[in-house]
């Protein structure tokens, strides 16, 4: 994603219409549109590994797993993002074709490829936006080139609590009653 808006403010309707024919993806924040950068091999492999594991886990139930080509609408922030993956169990999301609104889990694989998509943006502004989604229970940040996973979990008191996952440990996603070894997330990744 670039840190410069491609044009001055546009409407949500114009953004959505443009995304249907665009050759590259764009994220939308308060009327500004930002081009998304491509991802490296480690990033894509980690995202695919976890998406595959989560898809197998929710198969046959009410939840759906979406990957990086599905938009997530954060109305309170007037934003649309393309998370690396997210899970929604809300039947209303099944009726939306262009974007979803009610994830219980969002996962971002971190990237330092551009200024706007840095780990700092994912931990800061984007997380602040995601926290406005009432159904969201967990936000997961994954380093693609070293075994490091941070889970931010919404607790009963309404606080977001960090649960770092140790190398060699187990990834536990309470929102969907999922667990797997960290090694499964990093399968086929050349770790640095």
Contact 19, 6 (CB under 8 A): no
**pLDDT over 80 at 121, yes or no:** no
pTM of the model: 0.88
Contact 115, 148 (CB under 8 A): no
**pLDDT over 70 at 112, yes or no:** no
150 is in which domain, residue-wise? 39-185
107 occurs within a structural domain: yes
**Residue 8 vs residue 30, higher pLDDT:** 30
Confidence of residue 116 (pLDDT cuts 50, 70, 90): very low
Confidence of residue 37 (pLDDT cuts 50, 70, 90): confident
Confidence of residue 2 (pLDDT cuts 50, 70, 90): very low
pLDDT of residue 124: 63
162 occurs within a structural domain: yes
164 occurs within a structural domain: yes
144 occurs within a structural domain: yes
Average pLDDT of the residues in 149-156: 95
Average pLDDT of the residues in 169-174: 96
Given its phi and psi angles, is residue 150 left (phi above 0), alpha (psi -120 to 50 degrees) or beta?
Answer: beta
Q: Which residues contact 150 (CB under 8 A, 6 or more apart)?
A: 140, 141, 162, 163, 164, 165
4 occurs within a structural domain: no
Q: What is the CATH number of the domain that holds 73?
A: 3.90.1570.10
Give percent above pLDDT 70 in the chain. 89
Average pLDDT of the residues in 176-190: 96
Interatomic CA distance for residues 192 and 162, integer angstroms = 24
Looking at the 3D structure of the chain, how many domains does it have?
A: 1
């Amino acid at each position: 994603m670039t840190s410069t808006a491609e044009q001055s403010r546009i409407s949500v309707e114009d953004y959505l219409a443009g995304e249907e024919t665009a050759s590259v993806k764009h994220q939308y924040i308060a009327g500004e549109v930002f081009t998304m950068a491509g991802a490296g091999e480690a990033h894509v492999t980690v995202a695919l590994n976890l998406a595959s594991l989560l898809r197998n886990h929710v198969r046959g139930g009410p939840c759906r797993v979406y990957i990086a080509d599905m938009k997530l609408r954060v109305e309170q922030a007037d934003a649309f993002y393309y998370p690396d993956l997210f899970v929604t169990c809300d039947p209303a999301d099944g009726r939306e074709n262009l974007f979803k609104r009610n994830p219980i889990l969002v996962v971002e694989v971190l990237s330092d490829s551009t200024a706007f998509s840095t780990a700092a943006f994912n931990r800061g502004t984007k997380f602040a936006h995601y926290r406005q989604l009432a159904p969201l229970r967990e936000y997961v940040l994954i380093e693609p080139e070293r075994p490091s996973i941070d889970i931010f979990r919404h607790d009963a008191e309404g606080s977001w609590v960090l649960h770092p996952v140790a190398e060699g440990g187990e990834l536990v996603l309470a929102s969907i009653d999922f667990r797997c070894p960290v090694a499964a997330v990093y399968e086929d990744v050349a770790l640095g």
